[in-house]
Structure formats: structure tokens, C-alpha cells
Structure 1
Amino acid sequence: MISRTHTAFVATVTATATAAALALTAGAQASPAERHASWTAAWAGAPQRPSTGFKPNWSEAGFDDQTLRQVVRVTEGGDRARIRLSNAYGSSPLRIESATIARTEKKGSASVEEGSLTRLTFGGKRGVTIPAHGQLASDGAGVELEPFESVTVTLHLSGTTGPATFHAQSFATSYRADGNHTSDTGGRAFGESTESWYYLSGVDVGGSHTASTAGTARTAGTERTAKKRGGVVLFGDSITDGFASSTDRDRRWSDALAERLDEAGEPRPVLNSGIGGNMVLNDSAWYGEKSANRFARDALDLPGVGTVVVLEGLNDIGYSETDKPTYKPAPVVSARELINGHRKLIREARAKGVRIVGATLLPLGGSDHYGKHAAAVSDEFNDWVRTSGEYDAYVDFDKALADPRDPERIAPAYDSGDHLHPNDAGYRAMARAVDLETL
């Protein structure tokens, strides 16, 4: 078990293992037709190493002849779909005995829509083994999906998995059953639940893409063709991840931004690559690899990506101010160090031809991350984002969410209660703060 006083460590996944996994994905596990298919990421979840985490989860214990049922919401539609699976932090091969995908019957339920359940294959076979540190994609399956539709992915893990690669904070309910229940449409067998995702790192769509007007403006039969401008990845820490947003209601700022783009007549997939607690400059047992180490995997290399929005740094400067033992000893980080960490991301995005948008750090006054040093570094960093011109564009969340009476703090209407993370209204305010032309 990873203790709460565990110190930061360097990731151990080697370039050789990563290359082998990518070769497996692109080679033997895909038919020639699949290799040349055009895919767009419609949902993403950033993988993390097994850990105790923020809430009880199954990652350290893993699974043994059990079925996982996981619910995600796509922000792009199509008539074909595939899933991406990650064993990035597994110490042994992972056997997927069978897998299905279906439209979700009802949020907060393990049931799926009758007639929509579709068998997934891997290189034409029902099962697949993913090597330790590997990742791969399923074959494409004929599944009609609309933007903002919830999708249920079900995996039968026939053997003993060992500790599981997962995403700790899903703010969505996942379910578990003993034995093989991949073909069940009902949810009766799935008696256990958790708020994490396991092994599932993406859902991609292909084929015809349409988008409908969102919210109250969406009406039956109203459809229009989306102008393809590339997906938007939101990359960051717990604020991007959606900490304190309502479970099973899709209220993260990534959800709000996707809905706003759709309402504005500019529909594009929006992908969430946040990890709670994540840092720009240091790895962590609980909080994922530092930004530069995961940026390509979790952002730049996702299918169809055109723009990345980076919001990260509060934990780098705030952990040294808090007495919580989850990240100790925490180095005291300067603004120059934090800026140099962001410059690495800018260079990497430009090398891939991806537009990169920076974001100012939200106000942190009154939170456990606040102190004289953190406040000074935050101000200096935010000034650099606004004035340096090094990012292609920027979003000013610091001003958008600040309390007019005390700009060091989040406005009460947007505060989840910990003075660090927004509530549902705050996440909507973040989406409103984005000048859509900057994307």
C-alpha cells in the first residue's frame, strides 16, 4: 500500500516498453482497414498508477474473474466507435476476455439501452492480452452515437489482474460484478460501485459526424454538419479533472465548454486530461506523472486533436504551504521554475503542430494551498501568461472567477467550499471565460 507520506518518485515506464505498446496498437492488433481508418477522440481519461486515492477504489487490489461496467459521455458523434485501453502501470500482462459497448440507459445505473449492446473485437478476436506498460485500441464497431450521449463500456477480466491502471477521480459511477456479464443489458449483477475508471483511457468515433444544438435549443430533427477543426484537450490538475463537480451529472468545465461550443454553432470534441493533484514539475505516487512526462500521451497524441488548453501549477506552488501529508516533502517552487515547465509544454505542442492556449491560475486565497509565497508566485506566473505572448492565446480564469470584493479569493457563488475548487456554477463560468476564437 502507498502511504500518505510517500515521497515523489520518477516514473518507471521505459521508452522501450512504450514503443513496443505503440507497435502492438498499430500492428498486429489492427487490420489494414482499421490502421487506415480516420478516428476522432470523443472521450478521454488520463491513466494513473494504482494508489489509495481520494476515495475508496479497486486499483490496488485489482480484479479476479470480474466484469467492469463504466459510463462515459462522448462529445462527438459517429457511426463507428472503438475503445482505447491502458495497462501503462501494470506489472504483468492484462487479459481482457471480452468487451462490449452500448448506449447508457440511465445515468447512475448499470443498465444499458436494449438493442444497442455491441460486441467489441481486438484484431478480429473477442479477447486480447495487453502487455505490462502497454496500450491498445479495439477494432471499430458499428455503433451510432450522438454528441453528448452516454456510453457504457463493459470489460470481462477473466484472470487475476494485479494492481490496476486507473483514473482516480471520475465523478461518474463505475460498477463491478463477479463472473462474465458483458452481455447483460440489465444492471442487477453489478452490486458494487466506485467513482474511478479502470483501464479505459479513451473512446474514439469514426464515420459520419453530426452535431445538434445543445441544451434547451436542441430539438428532434435539428441537425447540422460540424466544421472539422480538431478536438480540444483540457490538460491540468483537479480543477480540470472536475473535483467537487456533481457525480453522474457531467458538470466539469470540459463538459460546459463542449456544450458552449455546440450552442455557439461551433461543435468540437472536448477531451478532459486532468488528474487531481497533478503537477508541472514533479511526479507523485497519488497524483500522476509530471506534465512533461504525460503531455504527449494524454494530450498531443489523442486522435484528431487540434488545440490544448493548459491549466496547471497550483499544486506545484501550493503543496509547500499545506500541512497535509499527501505530498511531502514538497519543494518550494519559484515562478521562474514553473514558467520554464510550461515552456516545455509549449515547445512540445508546437513541434506537433498543435495550438496551445495557456490559462491563469485561479484565486487560491483562504485555501490550504494559500500562503505568502504561493500568492506571490501565482501573481508572477499569471502576469507571464497574460503578457509574454509565449502561449498562442490565453484564458484569464484568475479574473473570471475572482471575488470582486477580495480578488485573492474565488467568488462565493463559484466556490465549492474549500476556496480552491469551483462548484458546478464555477465550472460553467470557466467555460464562459473562454474566447472561442482562441481555440
Structure 2
Amino acid sequence: MRAFHAAVLAAVFAAATPAQAGWITSWSAAPVRPMPGYGAMFAAPSFRNQTLVQTLRISAGGKALRIRLTNAYGETPLEIGGARVALLDAEGKEVPGSAHMLTFAGRESARVAARAPLVSDAIAMAVPDLARLSLQLYVPGETGPCSCHQTGLDTILVSPEGNYLGRTFEPVQTLQNRPFAAAIEVDAIDGAGTIAMLADSITDGIGSTLGANRRWPDYLAERLSAWAKGKWGIANQGISGNRVLNEGFGESGLARLDRDIIALPGVRYVVVFLGVNDLGMAFTPPGSPPPAPGTGLPNAGVPVTQEMLLDGYRQIVARAHDKGIKVIGATIAPYKGSLRWTEQGETVREGINAAIRAGRIFDGWVDFDKAFADPADPLQMRPGYHMGDHLHGTDAGYKAVADSIDLGLFK
């Protein structure tokens, strides 16, 4: 009798478990708690009975996709009145016949619980590598300050009041945030995986051309597609102002690792490119500009030592390894000439970079310090590789960084 019951239970569980699809993350943007705007980091907007249209470029393609929405910082549930996705052509126009309405448990409307994500049903929609998609969200109620990625570097269209899904409209507002969109996941080829980035504004792409997908992870996605078509998705989880150890813009890298990296489908590698903000906030030159009100960034923050940062990296590695994720460390880029450079911070940066290059911390490493450095003065960025602030890159600088990566790291 026990054997019979075991056989029945096995059959029930087998029937209830769908065939495993090869879901990987092909695009992402990490949300941050609502806060005032600061430079290229925009304040969190609110919406009421409006349609939001944003353009997203994936990395790896697949035979199906699904969308991950977020209400990570919402105090109340977020109502989704409808959502629509379509392929865009090279001119940014919808490809005829490519549009699909998203569903959630079979329904076109949904409620995203407070402080939670929501994953759509899968859509049998084949998408190629580097496809550009239009994502339209209709939010019928009052959203409150949105769970947004602050630095979208693309133009988001906000409609007049009403449901404009599938219709053109004259926007009443344009934004550069990423409202409520957390990830695009694709059912990819066998053996595919995702390379995620736990990083700050240099990875977020500040200084790159608006709407052109010229962050260094974008360039890396193009290289990977040419090298191994369909195999590698990119999940850019850079948050401008982010730090390893302390909260500022977004939770610290240590605090957000589980949600922003480990929880994403298909992650096999994470590139850790954090540390310059830890140094810039711990060692603050006299006369530095104060932080924006409410940002949580101290002008002279908690002291940071080389060993504290290295221990932070070690924790990231240990926790990623628990989930079978390999960790690639990036050397901290030069920042002499920026508003927050100090000799004390430089000493710590050089010590950290020496430890990374010695192979004592990560599974592998990439030398972004060398890629950005000015040969005439390696303590600062090469002219033309930074936007004028000696800290953030340009299109040329970000391409140089992506080109410096040995693709053989990703097996």
C-alpha cells in the first residue's frame, strides 16, 4: 500500500511540475527606494490613471519571454490595468504583428503586492539577440512614488489620463527613470546563462549617449552575441551612487545581493565593480559639495579601510558561491581629478586593486583600472574616456572597458 501511495504521489508531482524551460535574464534594472533627485539620478515620480511607454534592449534572444515587474518600495499594492510588449524595428517603430498583451495567471490585469515583484506569464514570442522592445504599462490608480531605477538613460513617455495601450499619444511628461520594470527573461538556447553586474554609476552608464545603449554592459552584450549567439544574457544591476558596505543610493551591494543578483533567473557569473563610492564618501576632501537632502549619503561617512572592503568582497563571493555563481572582480577605476579624490582614498584603491590582481579574492578579474587609465597619469582617466568629471565614462571609455574583457572568462 505504501508503495502504491508513493507511486501515486510521484505521478501527481510529475504532472504538476512543468517541463523546465531555460529561463535566463536578458535585461534588468535595479529599483531604488524613492528619494530626491541628485544630478543624473532622478527623483521618483508618481502616476495616476496613465500609460507608461519605455524602450528596452535585451541581450540574448529566445523563443519566449516574460516580464518581471517590481513594487519593491511600494507601501501599497500596485494595480496594473494592462501591459503590452512589442518588437521595435531599427527606426523605433513597432514591427507589425509583433505586439502581445501580457497576462498574469491568465488575466490581463494584476495587482503587485507591496514590496514584491510580479512575473508575467510566458509569451510565445521569439526575439533575436539585441532586440529592442516597447513595454507599455497602464496603471489605473494612484501609484505613489514609484519603485524605479533612477538612471534609465532612455526616454520614457507618460500619457495623459487614460489607457493608451496600443495607441499613440502626445506625452504630458517624459522621464529617464525605469518605472516598475525590473527584468526581461527569455527562454533561451540550451546552455545559456546570464552575466550580472553588481555595480555603480560607471556601469549604470552615466556619461553615455541617451537612448543609444552605450553603457559598457551594452557593448559587452554585443561582443558576446557575436562570439556565442544566444548564449549570454546581461543583467545590468548597476545603481548610481552605490557602495559595497554602506547604504546610499540603493541598499549596499552586500544588502541587495540576494534580490538583485541571486534571485535573477539563469545567473552564472556576476561582475563586481563597486568601491569607488565607498572611497569617495569615506575620504572626503575639504569643500566637497554636500549630499542631496534625504539621500542618506553622509558628507564624511563611516570610515572605510582596505580590509573592510576586501572582507565585503569576500562575503559577496561566499554567498554567490552558495548558489553556484562565479564572481569576477573588477579593479576600481582611477578617479584623480574628481571632486571626491584624496590621497588616502588613492592608497586604499591601489591596495585593493593589487589584491584583486593577485587573484586572492575572486574567481577571476578584469582590469578596468588599466582600461580607463591615462598612460600619462595612471591615477586619472584618459582624456576622452570620461565625461569631464574624471569619474564617469563616455561612449569611447565604456567601449574600451568592454573591449578589455577576455570573453574566455565566461565558459
Alignment TM-score > 0.5, same fold: yes
Q: Structure 2, unaligned stretches of length 5 or more?
A: 1-14, 292-296
SS in structure 1 at match of 2:369: helix
Indicate the larger mover: 97-106 or 234-243.
97-106
Could you say which residue in structure 2 is the equivalent of 1:217? none
Could you say which residue in structure 1 is the equivalent of 2:388? 417
Could you say which residue in structure 1 is the equivalent of 2:186? 205
Mark the structure with the bigger radius of gyration: 2
SS in structure 2 at match of 1:141: coil
The letter for the 2-side match of 1:351 is D
Relative distance call for 1:33 and 1:243 in structure 2 (3 A) is farther
1:346 Cα shift? Answer: 0.6
The letter for the 1-side match of 2:204 is D
Matches within 5 A, 1:49-60: 49-54=33-38, 60=44
Could you say which residue in structure 2 is the equivalent of 1:257? 220
Could you say which residue in structure 2 is the equivalent of 1:313? 275
Indicate the larger mover: 273-282 or 292-301.
292-301
The letter for the 1-side match of 2:314 is R
- Within 1, Cα distance between the matches of 2:179 and 2:104? 18
Deviations 1:31-54 (A, max 9, x none): 967795432111011111112223
Could you say which residue in structure 2 is the equivalent of 1:192? 173
Could you say which residue in structure 1 is the equivalent of 2:298? 328
Matches within 5 A, 1:24-423: 36-54=20-38, 60-105=44-89, 112-186=94-168, 188-206=169-187, 209=189, 228-265=191-228, 267-284=231-248, 287-319=249-281, 320-322=283-285, 323-326=288-291, 327-329=297-299, 330-423=301-394
- Within 2, Cα distance between the matches of 1:314 and 1:58? 21
Alignment root-mean-square deviation, CA: 2.1
- Within 1, Cα distance between the matches of 2:107 and 2:18? 14
- Within 2, Cα distance between the matches of 1:229 and 1:100? 26
Q: Structure 1, unaligned stretches of length 5 or more?
A: 1-30, 210-226
1:130 Cα shift? Answer: 1.1
The letter for the 1-side match of 2:173 is E
Instruction: Give the conservation status (yes or no) of the 8 Å contact 1:102–1:151.
Output: yes
The letter for the 1-side match of 2:346 is A
Deviations 1:86-125 (A, max 9, x none): 1110111110111111112466x6x533322211010011
SS in structure 1 at match of 2:350: helix
- Within 1, Cα distance between the matches of 2:19 and 2:77? 23
- Within 2, Cα distance between the matches of 1:355 and 1:257? 18
Deviations 1:276-300 (A, max 9, x none): 000001112xx10001111121112
Could you say which residue in structure 2 is the equivalent of 1:216? none
1:341 Cα shift? Answer: 0.9
- Within 2, Cα distance between the matches of 1:185 and 1:426? 39
SS in structure 2 at match of 1:95: strand
1:166 Cα shift? Answer: 0.2
The letter for the 1-side match of 2:311 is N
SS in structure 1 at match of 2:159: strand
- Within 2, Cα distance between the matches of 1:269 and 1:92? 32
The letter for the 2-side match of 1:158 is P
Instruction: Give the conservation status (yes or no) of the 8 Å contact 2:42–2:151.
Output: no
1:420 Cα shift? Answer: 0.7
1:61 Cα shift? Answer: 4.4
Relative distance call for 1:399 and 1:57 in structure 2 (3 A) is closer
Relative distance call for 1:361 and 1:124 in structure 2 (3 A) is same
- Within 1, Cα distance between the matches of 2:376 and 2:113? 55
Instruction: Give the conservation status (yes or no) of the 8 Å contact 1:57–1:194.
Output: no
1:313 Cα shift? Answer: 0.4
- Within 2, Cα distance between the matches of 1:235 and 1:39? 20
SS in structure 2 at match of 1:412: coil
